Amino acid sequence: MIGGEDRLPPMTPQLALRVAVVGSCALVMFAIIFLRLWFLQVLGGTNYVAQAKTNEVRSAPVSAPRGRILAANNSVLVDSEKVPAILISPPRLPVPMPSAPTKQDLVNPPAANQALYNRLAPVLGLKTTPAPCKFTLVTGHKVQHVNANLAEIPCLVARQASQVAYSNVTLAVNVPIPAQEYISERAPAFPGVTVTQSAIRKYPRGDMAAQVLGTVGPINASSLKNPKFKGIPFTDQVGQTGLEYEYNQYLQGKDGSTRVRVNSFGQLRGYGAEKQPVTGYDLKTSLDPGLQAAGEKSLATSVKSSPGSNGGAFVAMNPDTGSVYGMGSYPSFNPGVFSKPMSEQAYAKKFGAASGSPLLNRATQSAGPTGSTFKVITATAALQSHTWSTSQTYDDTGKFCPSGSSGPCEHNSGGEAFGVVNLQKALQVSDDVFFYNLGLKLNWNPQRHPSGGPLQQWAKKFGIGETPGVDLPFAAKGNRPDPNWRNSRIKEEQECDSATGAYAYTNSAGSMSAKPLPGYHRSNTHPKGGCGIAAYPFRGWSEGDNVNMAVGQGDVQASPVQLAQVYSAIANGGKVPTPHVGESIDSPSGSALQQIQPPPERKLGISPATIGAIQSGLRAATQNGGTSGDVMGGFKMPVYGKTGTAQYISKGVETDDAWYACFVPSSATKKPIVVVVWVSHGGFGDTAAAPVAKQILSQWFYGKPGPYTPGSNNSR
């Protein structure tokens, strides 16, 4: 329009209504979105942050194969091998296992899971009948011990899933090919079940050195606070006994991991990349396979041919360095049984009280009276304290009756009288009466000397009643009796009898406490001497205690490895070495990464004259006229040895333990050796223990043990 104005047409009422409706809808929608964002950010923010944190990638450990244990000649004693294994994944079960399972989840599996277990059990040869099952449920910092009745598969699942939820559970190893194929071909019927490879311990030499090598197993409740296992996942196999336990930090290796994706509800959503595990280092030992085999075979022969014997042990080592050539304990076992899951019933059958305790290393963990083998300590104490001299003699009439004593006289074995003898002759014939006399002379006034006299002092220096320091766990200290010890036993007996002190409270398991701990109640009282800690009527230290100790009887106790330390000191001139089996930590390729250095030897300060006199007596004891002359007399190498017969009363019947300790020193050979043999209930030392030592020496020096021939000398 020329000369006019452009004007918008006026809004009609209908258009205005439409604009108002659309604007109102938009305003409402923006209000809803705003309110929703406000709810998510403000009201629900904390909850969604928590869920987001759980919607993450987690790591499940993959255990590393353990390192090998090698003999001195580098032959393999323990290895790890991959074998077919059947695993089950708790998150992939028909009803997935929760990320934090409760006791109810583990003890009462869902019906679908139980049906899977029942289908799988006969394929693997596992039982479906419920039996006692113990496991530890770890939730955060809370540890709960659970006892339930479960079949084998749900028990295995409970034991592992109770500690690490996402880790696979090993149900069986060394699975036969037909079973593998059956499961693989029917995968839909076995959800969560996998046929794979698993690393287990392999023992090429069977039960050889079983107690020394040790066993492996899962970390149990008692191991949770053990610093040796700090940082190791609960799913790992760790050393339980022997070298496996002592050197676990090197053998363990470094675990790998599998990345596990889970949602905010802890449900498995898949697996990611894997970090490969690193195999543990090798442990090279000082063990000689030939000597070990000869020692174990001859020890078993001795035990089986000794009526009433229930076990024994031997130690063979270098008297100068403490390197252990061989160490055996009978009865024994094959550690391979622990490479696969074992029920409590099977464990009780193989290792319970009726089995003879084959897990016990009697060479280091058992201690008792050593009989006449102890006489070298008595001789040292007498000569070094100048209580006796090498030139003095004693007239042995066949009996020892202390002046003023109202008790019965002591006698030599068989009532024999040796006449006038010096110390060397007394060792040669194992003259008890001579050493009874020394025990009396070495007894000091208990009121003035509550820790005893020279006999106790030298027993301590030799290591009796002290930790031997061997690189094997749970070694016994033995016992070194003195007046203080006697009084402490009386006090403990009195507390037990009156239910006071450390015996005031007890629980259902028989543990004692001075305080009323949870689950404890007041202890019962006993008649005087009723606890059996100290005999009633109570008596303090007497001369008779020292007299008995002088011949290795009474309350003195030592283990075979401790006695090996004693005779090593006599062999090397007065130095007590630290026994050790481990020699070096090696890489899998065989290069030595670290030499194992045991604690240094202890120098006793024994005079050459004392050492010479004792060695002279021990050498004569292995020749004609000596207590082991019939066994060792024809041996080509110069053997120095001492028999021992430890007597005690068991259920009213006198029982004898057989001991023999001997050595061939470095002055006579480039292969010095000390051997100690103990045969429980074996009778006389020459009869049951010396023949074992001879076979060990024959193997060590000549490469063959020769025929086993029992000794015939029934003397101390």
* pLDDT, average across residues 360-366: 97
* pLDDT, average across residues 560-587: 98
CA distances from 366 to 175, 194, 283, 362, 657 (A): 38, 45, 26, 5, 13
Count CB-CB contacts under 10 A for residue 419.
Answer: 12
| pLDDT value, residue 197 | 77
Per-residue pLDDT for 266 more than 50?
Answer: no
How many degrees, rounded to 5, is the angle at CA 74 between CA 200 and CA 291? 100
Judged by DSSP in three states, 408 sits in coil
Strand partners, 644: 659
Weakest-pLDDT range from 231-245, 452-466, 478-492, 530-544: 231-245
In the structure encoding, which two tokens stand for residue 494, read together? Answer: 């009195």
Q: What is the pLDDT of residues 63-92, one digit of tens each?
A: 788 999 999 999 999 999 888 888 888 888
Q: Give helix then strand counts, H and E, for the chain.
A: 23, 28
Topology classification of domain 58-285: Penicillin-binding protein 2a (Domain 2) (3.90.1310)
**Domains of the chain: which residue ranges?**
58-285
Beta strands in 387-538 (DSSP E): 394-396, 399-400, 410-411, 419-421, 505-506, 512-513, 521-522
| pLDDT value, residue 352 | 78
* pLDDT, average across residues 397-414: 81
Strand partners, 643: 660
**pLDDT classification of 229: cutoffs 50, 70, 90:** confident
| pLDDT value, residue 311 | 96
Q: What one-letter code names the amino acid at 75?
A: S
Q: Establish how many alpha carbons lie within 13 A of residue 431's alpha carbon, considering only the half-sphere containing its beta carbon.
A: 28
Highest mean pLDDT among 7-16, 344-353, 396-405, 426-435 belongs to 426-435
Q: What one-letter code names the amino acid at 119?
A: R
d(CA 298, CA 691): 8
d(CA 187, CA 184): 5
Q: What one-letter code names the amino acid at 231?
A: G
| Chain mean pLDDT for the chain | 88
The DSSP-derived string for 153-168 is HHHHHHHHHTT-TTS-
Q: What is the pLDDT of residues 654-668, one digit of tens each?
A: 789 999 999 999 999
Beta strands in 410-473 (DSSP E): 410-411, 419-421
The DSSP-derived string for 571-616 is HHTSEEPPPB-EEEEE-TTS-EEEE--PPPPEE----HHHHHHHHH
pTM of this prediction? 0.84
In the structure encoding, which two tokens stand for residue 556, read together? Answer: 């003195």
CA distances from 453 to 131, 365, 436, 439, 546 (A): 57, 27, 15, 10, 9
| pLDDT value, residue 1 | 44
* pLDDT, average across residues 224-242: 81
| pLDDT value, residue 21 | 66
| pLDDT value, residue 259 | 64
Count CB-CB contacts under 10 A for residue 605.
Answer: 9
Count CB-CB contacts under 10 A for residue 539.
Answer: 12
Per-residue pLDDT for 3 more than 50?
Answer: no
Return the percentage of the chain with pLDDT > 90, whole number: 63
**pLDDT classification of 309: cutoffs 50, 70, 90:** very high
Beta strands in 320-436 (DSSP E): 324-330, 394-396, 399-400, 410-411, 419-421
Per-residue pLDDT for 298 more than 50?
Answer: yes
In the structure encoding, which two tokens stand for residue 398, read together? Answer: 């066949």
Q: Which residue has the higher pLDDT, 165 or 616?
A: 616
Question: Do residues 247 and 477 lie in contact, with contact meaning Cβ atoms separated by under 8 Å?
Answer: no
Count CB-CB contacts under 10 A for residue 560.
Answer: 29
Contacts of 111 (CB under 8 A, 6+ apart): none
Q: What is the pLDDT of residues 632-688, one digit of tens each?
A: 999 999 999 999 999 876 666 778 999 999 999 999 999 999 999 999 999 999 999
Count CB-CB contacts under 10 A for residue 517.
Answer: 11
Per-residue pLDDT for 252 more than 70?
Answer: yes
**pLDDT classification of 60: cutoffs 50, 70, 90:** low
Question: Do residues 536 and 630 lie in contact, with contact meaning Cβ atoms separated by under 8 Å?
Answer: no
* pLDDT, average across residues 241-269: 76
| pLDDT value, residue 72 | 97
* pLDDT, average across residues 549-569: 97
Segment (H or E) for 269: strand 268-275
d(CA 618, CA 621): 5
| pLDDT value, residue 584 | 97
Segment (H or E) for 80: strand 76-88
Q: What is the pLDDT of residues 339-349, one digit of tens each?
A: 777 767 777 78
In the chain, what is the greatest distance between 2 CA atoms, to the nearest angstrom?
Answer: 161
Per-residue pLDDT for 710 more than 60?
Answer: yes
Weakest-pLDDT range from 124-138, 437-451, 562-576: 124-138
List phi, psi (to 5°) of 514: -80, -15
How many degrees, rounded to 5, is the angle at CA 527 between CA 521 and CA 532? 90
Question: Do residues 375 and 550 lie in contact, with contact meaning Cβ atoms separated by under 8 Å?
Answer: yes
d(CA 702, CA 690): 18
Q: What is the pLDDT of residues 88-122, one digit of tens each?
A: 888 889 998 887 788 888 999 999 999 999 999 99
* pLDDT, average across residues 615-633: 97
Weakest-pLDDT range from 169-173, 216-220, 354-358, 660-664: 216-220
**pLDDT classification of 19: cutoffs 50, 70, 90:** low
